[in-house]
Structure formats: C-alpha cells, structure tokens
Chain A
C-alpha cells in the first residue's frame, strides 16, 4: 500500500473511533428526557459520561485536524460543501458541552430543564446529521470541478441520507443505553437495558435496509465484488450487531458495549472500503471526485504526520483506556454528593 492509501484508512479509522467513543455519550444525551425520570436519575446520566465526553470529543477535533493535514483538498471541499450541516453540528456540540458544566451551577428547576434540553438537542442533532453527511458522501455529492457545492442543506436530506441519519442515530442510542446500563443500577439500569434491547430490532431493520439501499444508490459494492475477501468486513459488522443482542440478553453489558463499538467502527469502514480510492465522490461527474490521490498532502507531510500518528494514536488510546477503567464503576449516590459532580 502506498502512503496515500495508508492515510486513507487511518483517516477512516479516526472518524470511526470518534463515532465509537463520542457515540455513546451522544446517545445518552439523546435518551435523557426518556430515561431520566427524576433529577437524581438525570444526574446519574450526566455523571455517567461526565469524566469522558470531553476526551471523546477530541477525536472529532483530531479527525478534523487530520483531514486538514493529510487531505487538505478534502478538508476544504467537504466542510464548505457541508457548510450548513456542519455548522448545525458545531452549534449543537457547543450548547451540549456547556450543559454539563452549567446545569448544576444554579439550583432551579427551570435552569436545569433548559440545560437538559440543550443536552438532548445538542446530542440528537449531531448523531443524526453525521449519519446524513456520511451517507451522502457514500452516495456522491453535487460538487463541480472546482469543488464548489451545488445544493443546499435540503439536498442532503434525500431518502438515503435520512436513512444514514437514522442508522447513526439508532447506533448511538443503543451504544448509549448499554453504557448507561453499565454505569447505573436499580430502576434506571433496568430501563436502560430494556431500552437497548428494545431499540435493537429497529436498529437491525434499519441496518439491513441500509445495506440493501446501498446496493441501489451507491457504487460501494463494486469494490466488494472485485475483492470478495472484503465481504468479511460486512460479516464481522453484522456478527457484532448480532452480538450486541446476544450479550444484552446474557446481561454481559461490557461485551455488549464492545460489540456495539465494533458495529459502529464496521459501519463507518463499510462505506469507505467500498468507495476507495474515492473520498468525496461527485454526483455531477466522476471526474470531479476527490480521491486519496488527488486530495492528499505532499509526500513529506504525509510521512511526518504518519510518524506522529503511529506514535501518538496508541499513546492516546492507552491513557484514554486507563481513564475509562478508572471510571468503570457504577455512578453511586455518594458520588452525586461530591462537590465536583455535575
């Protein structure tokens, strides 16, 4: 594999890790009004992701930064084309991020309701729009030879785009519900586990429809039929999705959560493995498409960034896993009493 191809998959990996990590805290945010029946339960939900959400979100910053560094043309065209969608995501992440810090600072029901709503909307919008954006990339975006986008936000809200949005949203909801089952006990735990199991069949249906729809609206399967070995990826992803249900019914929540993470990573790779070497296909003319080769940085930059990524990504993962294990226990009532708790 050449450096561009390596970077292409490293780039997909960074986005996939972002979805697999921030995915569960976005999911919990979107579930807040439905699972948190009272202030204490809501606080448990906030605190179940309190120490982790910010670190998770840095994967987005890294994915953005690496897009800029390794594929500057992709960075320029992707984010200017998806201008409105991305801005909505960013505004959502802003009101969501401050909700954690602000909510507990004033003891008034109205104030808390305001930030509960911000967490909810701020989690729902990115979950859905990331799916919409990536499905549209799989399908092709109306860009011309200069990389200028010919469409609006509503162009992205086509049936396949909405299907992708629904898929991501459901993936994150299930991912979040399992995390909450891990981090809580009593009624809230039961409700979270039930929600994960209850949403799973819906997720399965949407995932199957997405796999089939991809056949008719995207060129994704061309790579798979050319290299049948690649079907293994789809197989692993589907097995991981089935594993989620299996481990949920075994009440083995950590394994269920890991299966769910693998499903999300597999779903992200599914499209890009099919698109390679295309990164941002043009629906106007295939010649206008951005590829790993025409959108990349110079060889020197790719080389330097590769060295840095090989060093830093494992280091970051190592200390992030340490922090996850530090906060693996259920959120206790005692902890909610601490001064620093959200």
Chain B
C-alpha cells in the first residue's frame, strides 16, 4: 500500500475510534449536569447517587475521548501536510479557537468537578458541570465548523498558491456547518439516551435499584424521544441541502446515475461503481428523490453519470451506509415512542427493557455510518471541489505510516477493549450501596 492509502486508513481508524467516545461526552455531560441540578434544588440523595454513578461512567468515556483526540489534531500535519499548507490559513484557526476557547474550559473544570466535591459549594459544583457540558458543545461547534468547511468551503480566496481567509463570518456561520452541527449533536443525544436507557434496562430487568434506574430511564427517554424525531426532520433538511452543496454526494446516497426529472428512489438498488449504473433496481418510487431534494416531485435531480468518473465518490459504500443509517434512525424514533407509552409500566414490560438493553450499541453504529456517508461521500475530494485527497498527503515514507497504523490498531484496540470493559463492569455493578 502507498502512503495515501495507509494515511487514509490511519485517519479513518483514528477518527472512527475517537468518535466512539465523543458523543457520549456531549450528551451525558448534559444529563449529569441536569441530575446534579435536581439534587441541589431538591436535596434528594437519589439524584446525588445518579450524578455520581453516571458521572463515573462519563469520566472513563471522557478520558479515552481526550487522549484519542490528541492524535487527530496532529495528524493533519504528520500525514496531510500538503492539505495543511494549502488550507491551514482557514482550517488551522478553527482548531486553535476550539482549544483556546472551549477545550481548556472543559478539561480544567472537569478536574474541579472530579476532585472538588468538598472544595466548592454544591451550587458551584453543579455549575461547573454545566460549564463542562457547555464547553464540550462549544468544542463540537468549532470542530464541526472545520469539517463543514472541508465539505462546503466558503469565505476563502485562492491567493499565494493556497486558500486564504477572505471572510471569517462566512466561515464561522457556514450554513453547512449549522446542519452538520445539529445533526451530530442530535446523534450524540440519541447515543447518550440509549446508553442510559440500556444500562437502566439491565438493572430494571433484574428489579434492582428500581427507583434509581426508573428515574434515569425516564430522563433519558425524554431526551431520546425528542431528538430521535428531531433527527429525522433535521436529517431530511441536511440531505436536501446536499442538492445544492454536494450534488455528487446526494446522487451517491440514493445511487442515482442518470439526471432526470421525477427522480425515483428504489426500495433496493445495488450500485455498480465500475460501470456507472445500478446492477439491480427493485421497486422504484417515482418522484420521491425529487420530492425529498427539492420538495417538488418533478424537479430535476443530477445523476452521477453527469460527473466525470474521477469526481464520483465510491457509491456502493456511501449508498448502503446511508440506507442503514436512515433505517436505524427510524428505529430509534419507533422504540422511543413505544417507550413513551410504557414509561409508567416499565417493570411490566421485560421484553421492552430487553429490547432497549440490546439496542444500546445501535446508535453508535448509526453514528459511525453517518461519518462514513459524510467522509466517503465527499471523495475524491478532501475539500469538496477544491482539493483532491490524493494531492493532500505528506511526502513521507510509507513504512513509517505502516508502522504507526499497526500501532494505532493495536493500541486503540486494547484501549477500546479495556475502556468498554470498565464501563460495562461499573455499569453492571450499579450505584454505591450506601
């Protein structure tokens, strides 16, 4: 394999692994802050126990998120130096703002939250957790703004052989970033809700700590229900926006090859990347793609055949990742809706609790599929329409990258195994007995 392929694999391993931990940080920090606030306002010790129990799981998860985020910031320099030279004027500042403005706040205050129970007042301690949650969200804003700029570059001018900043407000308020941000945050809240519901279900099935886990489950259920439905609406808007911002990605999502009015969506399509068509097409629903993309059944949707073959993303992966993600998205809405009607009789529905227990990993899978759609669907570009991935890679020895790639797989594999083992162990142990 060459440096390009190795570097792409390495970045994929590093980001996919990192993103197993980020969403729970975003969502669980809010839930823990909410629990602690309930404790401070009501004095009810159960809320304190909830804060500490879910907080402990949050911290294991957070630590792995932090250490794996570190490598990402430097990989643009180590493996994608040509990208960094060309785009750093804009992209670098977004990462710097994230660190200075938000990641500091999150990391420094989390230390206070962990060790400061007896050092600051109860109210101040709860405020610290809200600030941690706020800072985590702020970090996500800037990282996603940076990624959105790669998806849909704005506010730049090509000068001195590189992309230079022309309008900072345009970069910061990129409409694509706002869509990505809401999509990702909603996904994070769904993951966190299912995480809390899944672990609560485990204990409720065994009828242990019933009050504790019923409260936890219901709190998470509200979060999950609201954002599962919100995500469907938001996901639709996000997809429709691609018609303007990334037409090749939109066409790849639905494996749409020929430009047409009244464009269909197939119940099942098997893309054939090499020959630029679908090998199998079953059950066309005429006009549905036009309707979803333009809110008009007869609108014309550009097909992949209209783009040169070297500007098309890998359709097979993008299409199926998208389908699976959407399917899971509807599943989340369905099961949380069922949960809403069962919220007062959770103990009487062991089958539902079991369903929710086994559903815990599904939002994780959906999120990784979502990133597959976002990143593979952007290919062959590293910055859509502006720079190709193959031109972005560093001039370094392939052997070096091969060694570190193996290192990443090995270290992250162990880290992930230990991290999830500890989370599951602590989750099963339940809240402290005292």
Give the number of residues in B that approach A within 8 Å (Cβ atoms).
72
- In the complex, chain B residues 406-426 whose Cβ is within 8 Å of any chain A Cβ: 407, 411, 415, 418-419, 422, 425-426
Which chain B positions have C-beta within 8 A of A327?
111, 115, 119
- In the complex, chain B residues 39-98 whose Cβ is within 8 Å of any chain A Cβ: 52, 59-60, 63-64, 66-71, 73-74, 76-79, 81-82, 84-85, 87-93, 95-98
- In the complex, chain A residues 127-166 whose Cβ is within 8 Å of any chain B Cβ: 146-149
Which chain A positions have C-beta within 8 A of B84?
68, 72, 75-76
Quick check: which of A52-60, A183-191, A192-200, A219-227 contacts chain B, the rest being far away?
A52-60
Nearest-Cβ distance from residue A5 to partner chain B, whole angstroms: 18
User: Assuming A55-B111, A147-B81, is B95 touching A93 (CB within 8 A)?
Assistant: no
- In the complex, chain B residues 382-434 whose Cβ is within 8 Å of any chain A Cβ: 394-396, 400, 404, 407, 411, 415, 418-419, 422, 425-426, 432
Q: Give complex CA distance A55, B111 in Å.
A: 8
Which chain A positions have C-beta within 8 A of B159?
298
Q: Does B361 sit at the interface, judged by CB under 8 A?
A: no
Q: Does A250 sit at the interface, judged by CB under 8 A?
A: no
User: Assuming A65-B96, A79-B78, is B70 touching A91 (CB within 8 A)?
Assistant: no
- Cβ contact of B104, chosen from A55, A79, A93, cutoff 8 A: A55
- A75–B92 touching, CB < 8 Å: yes
Q: Give complex CA distance A327, B111 in Å.
A: 10
Which chain A positions have C-beta within 8 A of B89?
72, 297-298, 301
- B108–A323 touching, CB < 8 Å: yes
Q: Give complex CA distance A93, B95 in Å.
A: 20
Q: Does B117 sit at the interface, judged by CB under 8 A?
A: yes
Closest to B71 in A: A90
Which chain A positions have C-beta within 8 A of B284?
none
- A84–B107 touching, CB < 8 Å: no
Q: Specify which of B76, B104, B112, B160 lies most central, judged by the most chain A CB atoms within 10 Å of its CB.
A: B104
Nearest-Cβ distance from residue A314 to partner chain B, whole angstroms: 11
Interface residues as binary, A33-56 with B (CB distance below 8 Å gives 1, 0 otherwise): 000000000000001001110110
Q: Does B268 sit at the interface, judged by CB under 8 A?
A: no
Query: How many residue pairs between the two chains, A and B, have CB atoms under 8 Å in the bound complex?
Result: 223
- A58–B78 touching, CB < 8 Å: no
Quick check: which of A173-181, A236-244, A267-275, A303-311 contacts chain B, the rest being far away?
A303-311
Interface residues as binary, A310-342 with B (CB distance below 8 Å gives 1, 0 otherwise): 001100100110010011000000000011110
- B111–A50 touching, CB < 8 Å: yes
Which chain A positions have C-beta within 8 A of B186?
none
Q: Does B282 sit at the interface, judged by CB under 8 A?
A: no
User: Assuming A102-B418, A323-B108, is B103 touching A61 (CB within 8 A)?
Assistant: yes
- A338–B117 touching, CB < 8 Å: yes
Q: Give complex CA distance A79, B71 in Å.
A: 12
- B97–A308 touching, CB < 8 Å: yes
Q: Does B116 sit at the interface, judged by CB under 8 A?
A: yes
- In the complex, chain B residues 245-289 whose Cβ is within 8 Å of any chain A Cβ: none
- B99–A62 touching, CB < 8 Å: yes
Q: Does B168 sit at the interface, judged by CB under 8 A?
A: yes
Which chain A positions have C-beta within 8 A of B164?
297-298, 300-301
Q: Does B120 sit at the interface, judged by CB under 8 A?
A: yes
Which chain A positions have C-beta within 8 A of B425?
105-106
User: Assuming A72-B84, A80-B395, A84-B400, is B100 touching A308 (CB within 8 A)?
Assistant: yes
- B96–A149 touching, CB < 8 Å: no
Which chain B positions have C-beta within 8 A of A313?
100
Q: Does B185 sit at the interface, judged by CB under 8 A?
A: no
Q: Does B13 sit at the interface, judged by CB under 8 A?
A: no
User: Assuming A51-B112, A297-B93, A298-B164, is B407 touching A339 (CB within 8 A)?
Assistant: no
- B77–A68 touching, CB < 8 Å: yes
- A65–B95 touching, CB < 8 Å: yes
Nearest-Cβ distance from residue B62 to partner chain A, whole angstroms: 8
Q: Give complex CA distance A257, B194 in Å.
A: 47
Shortest beta-carbon contacts, A-B, top 9: A72-B88, A79-B77, A68-B92, A51-B111, A55-B108, A76-B81, A65-B96, A69-B92, A76-B84
Can you report 25 A-B residue pairs in the complex whose CB atoms are below 8 A from each other?
A51-B112, A55-B107, A60-B70, A66-B99, A68-B84, A72-B84, A72-B88, A77-B81, A79-B81, A90-B74, A101-B60, A105-B60, A147-B81, A297-B164, A301-B93, A304-B93, A308-B100, A308-B101, A320-B108, A323-B109, A326-B112, A327-B111, A338-B117, A340-B114, A340-B117
